[in-house]
Amino acid sequence: MRRYLGVYALIVVLPVLAAAAVLATLTRHAGPATHTTGPAAGAGAGAGAGGVQPYQLLVAAAVVAGAAALGGAVARRCGQPAVVGELLAGLALGPSLLGACAPRAQQWLFPAPVLPHLDTLAQLGVVFFMFLVGAEVPSGTLRTRGPAGLVIGHASIAVPFLAGLLMAWWLHGRYPPAHTGRTAYLLFVALSFSITAFPVLARVLSERRLLHTPVGVTGLTAAGVGDATAWGLLAVVIALVRGTSLTAACLAVVFVTAFALVMWTAVAPLVARAVARAEQGRLSADALCAALVCLILLSALATDRMGVHAIFGAFMAGVVMPRTSPLIGELRSRIQGVTVWLLLPLFFVSVGLNTQLRALDGAAAWAACALITVVAVTAKMAGAGAAALATGGHTRREALALGAMMNCRGLTELVVLSLGVQLGVLDDRLFAMFVCMALVTTAMTGPLLHRLLPVPQGPPPEDRRDRLPDAKEMDRHAPQR
C-alpha cells in the first residue's frame, strides 16, 4: 500500500497540481468569460421548421440502421470494434462524403425538418447508453484489482489532462470558442484528452479473449475507475460552462454531488429490495422493469435540471443497479437491443452531420489534427504505462498494453465532443480534429493489443460482439487474492 501511495502521489497528484498551476497561470489575465444561453447550433440543431412526413423519418432511420450495421460488420471483419465502422458510416452519410458527392441525395435522405427528430432520438440513445455503461462497471474487479486499477485509472486521466491543458492553451489562440470563456474552454479540451471508453474496451477485450486474464481485469478496472472519474470531472466542467457565475457553477456541482450520494445510499438499497421481491414472485417483474425505466429517465431529467447534463443521471441510475440479478440482466439486454441497433446509429449520424472534414482546409489544420492525436496517444500511454510499471507486477509489454487499453476512446469520447458542440466550446474545425483523434485512437487499440499480448489458448468464448460483457460473469472470473 505504501508503494501504491507513492506512485499515486508521483503520477497522479503531481500532474493534477501542475495542471492547477498551469490553469491558474493561463487564466490569470484572461478577459471576462462569456457564457452561452443555449446549445450552439450544429447541423441538426438548426434545422428548419416545417411538417415532417412519417415516411421521411422512417426512411432516414432505416438507412441509418442499415449503414451502421454494414459498417460495424465490415469493421469486425477487419479486426476492429464495431464502433469504428459505425462512426465511419455516420461520417459517410454526412456532409464530408455523401453531402460532397451527392448533395441532393443527402438532403433528400436527411431533410431539414427531420433532423431535430433524429437528434432527439439520438440523445435518448445516449441516455440509455450511459445507463448501460453505469450498469456494466464491474464491482468485483474493483475489489480484487482496486489499488492497481485506481492508480492506473487516475494516472491515465491526470497525465493526459495536464498535456491536454497545455495543448488547449496552444489551440485557444488558433481555434477560439465563440460562446464560452477561456477557463471553460481549457478545462473542456483538457478533459477531452483524458477520456477512456469503458464499454468499447470491454468489447475489444472480450473479442480478443483477454477479458478474464489478469492484465485484462486490471485494464477493465482502471477503465471503470477512469470512466467514473471522468464523468465527475465532466459534471464540474459543464457546470462551469453553463453557470452564469462561479457561485451558480459551484451550486450545480453541490447539487449533483448530493444527487449521487442519495442514489448510492438511498436509491440503491431500495432497488435491490424491489428486485429481490420481483425475483421471489412477490412483485410483478414487468411493473418493476417499467419503474426502473422511469428511474433512468427521471434521473437523467434531475441532473439536466441541475445544470449538468442528462447523461450523468442516467450513468448513476446504472451504477445503483444490482450486478448479479438475472432480472436486471434481462432489462439491460432489452435496452441494449434497441439502443445498439437503432438509437446509437442515429447518434453516429448526428455526429457525422456535425463533422465537417472540409473545415480542415489546409496543411496547418491537418498538422494540428495530427499533433492532437500524437499528444493524446503519448500522454495516455505514458501515464497508464508508467503507473503500471511503478506499481509492480507487470512486464513492460503488459504496461504498454494497459496504456493501449486506456488509449481506447470510442463512443464515450464522441458523447463528450458532442456536448462540446452543444455548449459552444468546440467549433467545426476543432470538433472535426477531435473526432479524427477518437477514431484513430480507438482503431489503434486492437492491433496494439494483438502485438503486445499473446492470445490465450483454449476454445473461444461465445460471441459477445453485440453486447457488453455481463458484470456478473466478470465478477465471477475476477482473480481472487
CATH number at residue 386: 1.20.1530.20
Within a domain: residue 342?
Answer: yes
The per-residue pLDDT string of the chain (481 residues; one tens digit each, 9 = 90 and over) reads 788 888 888 888 898 888 888 888 877 755 544 444 443 434 443 434 456 788 888 999 899 889 988 998 998 888 888 888 888 998 899 888 888 889 899 889 888 888 888 888 988 988 998 898 788 765 555 555 567 888 999 999 999 999 999 999 999 888 888 677 788 889 999 999 999 887 788 778 877 778 778 888 888 888 878 877 887 788 888 877 776 566 777 777 788 889 989 998 999 999 999 999 999 888 898 999 999 999 999 999 998 888 777 888 898 899 899 988 899 989 998 898 888 888 888 888 888 887 888 888 888 999 999 999 999 999 999 999 999 999 877 889 999 999 999 999 988 898 899 888 888 888 888 999 999 999 999 999 989 998 898 766 555 444 333 344 444 444 443 333 3
Q: What is the pLDDT of residue 218?
A: 87
Q: What is the pLDDT of residue 479?
A: 36
How many H-runs (helices) and E-runs (strands) does the chain carry? 23, 0
> Are residues 150 and 225 in contact, defined by beta-carbon separation less than 8 angstroms?
yes
Q: What whole-number distance in Å separates Cα of residue 288 and Cα of residue 52?
A: 35
Q: What whole-number distance in Å separates Cα of residue 203 and Cα of residue 170?
A: 35
Within a domain: residue 296?
Answer: yes
Within a domain: residue 475?
Answer: no
Domain that holds residue 68: 53-455
- Collapsing DSSP to helix, strand or coil, 106 comes out as helix
Within a domain: residue 34?
Answer: no
- Collapsing DSSP to helix, strand or coil, 26 comes out as helix
Within a domain: residue 57?
Answer: yes
Within a domain: residue 5?
Answer: no
- Number of domains the chain is built from: 1
Within a domain: residue 167?
Answer: yes
Q: What is the pLDDT of residue 269?
A: 94
- Collapsing DSSP to helix, strand or coil, 1 comes out as coil
Q: What is the pLDDT of residue 477?
A: 39
SS3 per residue for 309-367: CHHHHHHHHHHCCCCCCHHHHHHHHHHHHHHHHHHHHHHHHHHHHHCCHHHCCCHHHHH
pLDDT (tens digit per residue) in 431-473: 999 999 999 999 999 899 988 987 665 554 443 333 444 444 4
Sign of CA dihedral 92, 94, 100, 104: positive
Show the cell assigned to 163: 498535456
CA angle 281, 282, 284 (to 5 degrees): 75
Within a domain: residue 127?
Answer: yes
